[in-house]
Chain A
Amino acid sequence: MAGIQVLRSEWTKIRSVSSTVWTLGLAAVVTIALGVLISALSRREFEGLGARDQIAFDPTFVSFAGMSLGQLAMIVFGVLVVSSEYSTGMIRTSLAAVPQRGTFLFGKVAVATLLAFVVGLATSFVAFSLGQAMLGEHAASIGDPGVLRAVIGGGLYMTLIAMFSMGVAAMLRGPLLSLGILMPFFFLISNILGNVSATEKIGRYLPDQAGSKIMQVVTPFGDDTPYGPWGGLGIMVLWVGAALAGGYAVIKKRDA
């Protein structure tokens, strides 16, 4: 009963602020546009690649290249959904109406997650088809082995990124602090840790590195990652679960 009320209310909340349209719209546009651009460039560069790289060329993954930037807008979406309650003070009114704090938090996360999944999945399909169109004769087909899994996985990846951000924002409450930690982490630190050989083995267990494995169809040459595409997504799900559990503990324990 209370759960359905929270879902209805959260849907009203999320559709009645313009930041929802802006952040989700930006996530879609950036991911698609950058994917198209990089796909077009890759087609021209393909002839110049070495034989090894030509074999390891992953047209599906290339068309998702925009996700590294598009995910930042998804992070902003996830953070704002949760932290706007705190920054506006609305949280007190909300929790006075729903004293069951767990129901409130997970109702909110559920609505935002569903919306992020719809947008993420659509973005993933559009980015794939436009990207393949740019790649021309090097394109992959949706019917090829592993490709459909990668495209659906792209939608799941964006959804999980948003969920992770919601969990972190529920722990930290403030939008500035949450964004100030999440943005540099996903844009810089994770990339650096993943590309420096000394920290590579740790870096690949970070949520975005592990999760993005689901979008790969062709395994890069010399890759010794100990998990497969679904294993990687599983690691990311664990991260998301931990973030949300932390958020739940904070909202349950601390004074609003």
Chain B
Amino acid sequence: MIEAVGLTKRYGDKTAVHNLSFQVRPGAVTGFLGPNGSGKSTTMRMILGLDEPTSGQVTIGGYPYRKLPNAPRQVGALLDAKAVHGGRSARNHLLCLAQLSGIPDRRVDEVLGVVGLQDVAKKRSKGFSLGMGQRLGIAAALLGDPQVLLFDEPVNGLDPEGILWVRNLMKSLAGEGRTVFVSSHLMSEMALTADHLIVIGRGQLLADMSVKDFISHNSADFARVRTPDTEPQQREKLTAALTEAGGQVLPEQDGALRVTGLPLPRISDLAHDADVRLWELSPHQASLEEAYMRMTQGAVDYRSTIDQRAGLQQQLPPGAMPPPQAMPVPGQGQPGWYAPPPPQQGGHPFAMPQTPAGAPYASGQPGGPYAAGPAAGTNPYAQPPAPAAPAPATPDTTQRDSEDLR
């Protein structure tokens, strides 16, 4: 069991981790999610006693790592797959780690077999691909047959077969009653591997809940509506009608509309009343990846902007008209275009199971954050919460959606 209490790490002015408290329990795979630079690796280093917390503490089995008796036999870690001396062979790399931890030499050949590197054991790790490096790092973590395992981004650079292998390895390690703590920035991967999720952004805890709860609270339903491509005015007509009825409408890249807040039969009725033909009316479920991105949206440090290519354009002579710019795809670049609309002001940006009753989107509300209601009075489109669209809500669908995204 790993336990962090008020863990804080500051580098000068920058706070990498702020007042982080969580527990990682044995017998389960705990996913550790967050955008780049959110403090995942810093937290992992503090767990391993490599970085000293500015305040707070983190313990493994009740001990800070540096005081843990026989630490390398209790805890195994993969921090960085590239952290090997390129001139050393895979076997020698593991051998010096085994000797450092007092592990017998023959264990080295065992773990080489476990990760499938026995054929390249004598090769210098300089020539290894990132995937082979990950396997070598995982081998190093498994050396001491530890009860607590930490993996920082273990599937980076792995091929699909390798990803599946890592996924099954984590599950079987947890199945043996070990504590498995895996960081990733891929929600979709964690939805398949982890039992529990800890999500951080800008060094602060955003969520600490089971994957099951996360799925049931954050997989939002929406309807995709398509009007005849040939008649754009029909699309506008329908958008107006749906908005008036209290739905929220977002255009998609291919001209379809993404509608939330209205059940499918109601959309059909409204279209019929407005005399608009429909080419498509289908129930959909936003993927976990989208829910996760919405959750961490405010906490992303590094965000890309649209490339204007202005630096490449020639200076125009005075009076000349600039060349016509290609129209940007509707919605692209604006935060949240891919996701259902963000909830109203004052609410949490995402659903938490422990949200107190009376707070926005109290649990049990199937519409989750997308049901209008609590903000009534300020929201001009306010309507009593409509029953959710009859979307297939099984986790299998979610998983398929998530995998499609990758």
Contact = CB atoms under 8 A, between A and B. Distances in A.
Contacts of A2: 102
Interface stretch (B27-35, B43-51, B187-195, B242-250): B43-51
B369 interface: no
B85 A95 contact: no
A205 B37 CA distance: 48
Interface stretch (B93-101, B163-171, B311-319, B351-359): B93-101
Given A13-B88, A17-B88, A97-B72, A89 B83 contact: yes
B97 A97 contact: yes
Interface string A86-100: 001110111111110
A16 interface: yes
A9 B88 CA distance: 13
Given A96-B48, A99-B65, A99-B68, A1 B86 contact: no
A5 interface: yes
A6 to B, nearest CB: 6
Contacts of A88: 82-86
Interface stretch (B73-81, B177-185, B332-340): B73-81
Contacts of A1: 102
Nearest to A1: B102
A93 B97 contact: yes
Given A5-B102, A12-B99, A99 B83 contact: no
B205 to A, nearest CB: 22
B99 A8 contact: yes
A181 B44 CA distance: 34
A197 interface: no
A5 B99 contact: yes
Nearest to B66: A99
Contact of A255 (B52, B88, B97, B100): B52
Interface of B: 45, 48-52, 65-66, 68, 71-72, 75, 77, 79-80, 82-89, 92, 95-97, 99-102, 140
Contact of B96 (A9, A92, A95): A9
A12 B96 CA distance: 6
B87 A90 contact: no
B79 A93 contact: yes
A19 interface: yes
Given A9-B96, A9-B100, A92-B79, A256 B50 contact: yes
A68 interface: no
Nearest to B46: A255
A191 interface: no
Contacts of A92: 45, 48, 50, 79-80, 83
29 contacts: A1-B102, A5-B101, A5-B102, A9-B97, A9-B100, A12-B95, A12-B99, A13-B96, A16-B89, A16-B96, A17-B88, A88-B82, A88-B84, A88-B86, A89-B79, A90-B83, A92-B48, A92-B79, A93-B97, A96-B48, A96-B72, A96-B75, A97-B72, A98-B72, A98-B100, A98-B101, A99-B71, A255-B51, A256-B51
A88 B77 CA distance: 16
Contact of B49 (A16, A93, A94, A96): A96
Given A16-B96, A96-B71, 16 more contacts: A5-B100, A12-B95, A13-B88, A13-B96, A16-B95, A17-B88, A88-B85, A89-B79, A89-B84, A93-B79, A93-B83, A94-B97, A97-B72, A99-B49, A99-B66, A99-B68
